[in-house]
Amino acid sequence: MTDAARPSLTPPPDAVAPVRHPDAPAPGQLIEPHYEFCFGCGPAQPSGLHLAARAGEGVEIFAEFTVAPTHQGGPGLAHGGVLVTAMDDALGTLNWLLHSTSVTARLETDFRRPVPVDSTLYLHTWVEAVAGRKIFCRGEARLDAPDGPLALTAQALFIQVPLEHFVNHGRPEDIKAAMDNPDLHKRVRAFEVNP
């Protein structure tokens, strides 16, 4: 599909190039999960994807995820929704490079080849442009090697939100537990003092 057919995913003429935040993780640095119970990257989520993400040199993320038997859709194949989750998480992790908090508003994914269980997806996501609160991103995922066959491509629109977005909308007991976790608190504060 052409970009003209995806108006809400195409940066407007007044969009600007993304700026890597001075306190963004260094290129190559492993990025800590934003929340231990995140289905995408949380280490405490037993059936989660356990995505491991690193910062790139630009406003970009390189991430890996190995498809487990719990992620099946068809027999021996990854569920498409699981693959979109992996892409969503790798796109969401771009927040660390911009030092903004944003949420997925729109995510369009093209599935280009089947992804078997036990294969490792190598995801690459990057911010294309920013227009006010709108962050226009793209991503691709390759099979079994960073330069392996293309399995997924994606375009997304993230919208910047204040931290209150999470506090106001999340289930209260989970928000309380998250706020009581000093590690998460420290991470969230970094966003607050370096908007």
Ligand X SMILES: CCCCC/C=C\C/C=C\C/C=C\C/C=C\CCCC(=O)SCCNC(=O)CCNC(=O)[C@H](O)C(C)(C)COP(=O)(O)OP(=O)(O)OC[C@H]1O[C@@H](n2cnc3c(N)ncnc32)[C@H](O)[C@@H]1OP(=O)(O)O
CB of 76 to ligand X, least distance (A): 27
Number of residues that bind ligand X (CB under 6 A): 25
Q: Write out the DSSP string of 139-162.
A: EEEEESSTTS-EEEEEEEEEEE--
* Cβ atoms 125, 107 nearer than 8 A: no
Question: What is the rounded CA–CA span in Å between residue 5 and residue 181?
Answer: 44
Q: Map residues 85-104 to x or -, x wherever contact with ligand X holds by CB under 6 A.
A: ---xx--xx-x-----x-xx
Q: Among residues 108 and 144, whose Cβ is nearest to ligand X?
A: 108
User: Minimum distance from CB of 194 to ligand X (Å)?
Assistant: 12
* Helices assigned H by DSSP within the chain: 80-92, 95-98, 164-169, 172-180, 182-193
Interface positions, 23-62, toward ligand X (CB under 6 A): 34-35, 40
- If the CB atoms of residues 152 and 188 are measured against ligand X, the closer one turns out to be 188
Which residue is catalytic, options 3, 14, 23, 88? 88
Question: Does residue 183 carry a catalytic annotation?
Answer: no
Cα–Cα nearest to 35, from 19, 18, 48: 48
Q: Among residue numbers 103 through 162, which ones bind ligand X (CB under 6 A)? A: 103-106, 134, 157, 159, 161
Residue 166 near residue 103, CB atoms below 8 Å? no
Task: Report the C-alpha gap between 24 and 191 in whole angstroms.
Answer: 11
Among 73, 108, 116, 166, binds ligand X (CB under 6 A): 166
Residues numbered 169 to 188 that lie near ligand X (CB under 6 A) are 175, 178-179, 188
Strands 30-31 and 134-143: unpaired
Q: Which active-site residues does the annotation give?
A: 88
Which stretches of the chain bind ligand X, using CB under 6 A? 8, 34-35, 40, 88-89, 92-93, 95, 101, 103-106, 134, 157, 159, 161, 166-167, 175, 178-179, 188, 191
